[in-house]
Chain A
Amino acid sequence: MMEIIAGYVKDATFEVFESMVMMEIASGEPNYNGSKKIDSIISSMIGLAGDLKGMVVIHCPEEVAKKITSGMLGMEVDEVDADVKDALGEIANMVAGGLKVSLEGEGCNVELALPSTVIGRSIRMSSGVGSKRIMVPFNIPSGEFGVEMNYVMSSV
């Protein structure tokens, strides 16, 4: 199931970047054991509830976050400001929304919370005992970012 969900994360992220960020991205191999780290400065997360509980988190280094925001807004971005936080939060929201649609196709109903963004170097997420962790790395010319999913299945 983790491989399937990682595929959904990839699909949702590609769709968001293609249609809303106007930026080509390449995906790396998903990591399932927590060993993959992203050297991030900003992380946007959105909680998931329902048949699957957990969160989706976008981890970005500074330059990547600024480039992604530039792509979304169609203007240069020089610092990690409110626009960057807002843009990353909205990407997390849309990726989670795409994931939700895919999971509903598996009979797994998920509700989304509102996105939150934290700034700090190499934030590590910690989830409950038994939770699964998937990290899907992506690349743009400015560097690497990651989409992490922590979750516990209560049914499916």
Chain B
Amino acid sequence: MGKNVLLVDDSSTMRKIIGRSLRQAGIDFDNIFEAGDGQEALAVLEKESVDIVLSDINMPNMNGIEFLREKAGRDAIKDIPVLMISTETGDDIIGEAKSLGAVGSIKKPFTPDKVNEVLGPLL
């Protein structure tokens, strides 16, 4: 059975670019789900079978840090890995994300090679 990914970003353009980068990196998913913020992401995770989440940090309604914190408190979804993709690179905020369970981070802008380098070993 193939794998499913959830892309979380308030920019629909960025979700399309990430999806394209996955294909260019040769990483095939059976299903690519999308969410525009942390709240939408939680709803997708509760409903769908997702193997890994790629999430932005700066988003309206529920940002990536709040999403990680809320997800960590839900037994059914807390173990799904989350990789942050963000313009945020500071040790403080990336450190906070990792302390809440994020498995790594990719800085925007990125290349398909970078996506493959970071995401590949996680699959």
Residues on A lying within 8 angstroms of B by beta carbon are 15-16, 19-20, 69, 72-74, 82-83, 86-87, 89-90, 93-94, 96-98, 100-101, 104, 112, 114
Residue of B nearest to A104 (CB): B90
* Contact yes or no, B12 A83, CB < 8 A: yes
Out of A15, A19, A87, A104, name the residue touching B13 (CB < 8 Å).
Answer: A87
Q: Is B121's beta carbon under 8 Å from chain A?
A: no
Q: How far is the CB of B45 from chain A (nearest CB, A)?
A: 23
A93 in contact with B12 given A74-B20, A112-B58 (CB within 8 Å): no
Chain B count of residues within 8 A CB distance of the other chain: 21
Q: Which residues of B contact A98 (CB under 8 A)?
A: 87, 109
Which applies to chain B's interface (DSSP): helix, strand, loop or mixed? loop
Tell me the residues in window 68-110 of chain B with beta carbons closer than 8 Å to chain A beta carbons. Answer: 86-90, 107-110
A69-B58 contact given A20-B109, A97-B108, CB 8 Å threshold: no
> Which listed residue (B17, B107, B108) contacts A72, Cβ 8 A?
B17
Report which B residues bind A (CB closer than 8 A): 10-14, 16-17, 20, 58-60, 86-90, 107-111
Which residues of A lie under 8 Å from residue B58 when comparing CB positions?
93, 112, 114
A24 nearest CB across to chain B (Å): 15
- Across the interface, do B111 and A86 meet the contact criterion of CB distance under 8 Å? no
Please indicate the chain B residues that have their CB under 8 angstroms from the CB of A89 in the complex: 11
A15: nearest residue on chain B (CB-CB)? B109
Bound-state Cα–Cα, A114 to B10, Å? 10
Instruction: Quote the shortest CB–CB distance from A123 to chain B (angstroms).
Output: 21
Contacts of A100 in B (CB 8 A): 87, 89
Q: Do B13 and A96 have beta carbons less than 8 Å apart?
A: no
What are the nearest 10 A-B pairs in CB distance? A97-B87, A19-B109, A87-B13, A20-B109, A90-B11, A86-B13, A16-B109, A19-B111, A94-B109, A94-B108
Q: Which residues of A contact B109 (CB under 8 A)?
A: 15-16, 19-20, 94, 98
Q: What residue of chain A has the Cβ atom nearest to residue B16's Cβ?
A: A73
Q: A20-B109, A83-B12, A104-B90 are in contact. List 13 more A-B contacts (CB 8 A).
A: A19-B110, A20-B108, A20-B110, A69-B13, A72-B13, A72-B16, A86-B12, A94-B87, A94-B108, A94-B109, A97-B88, A98-B87, A112-B87
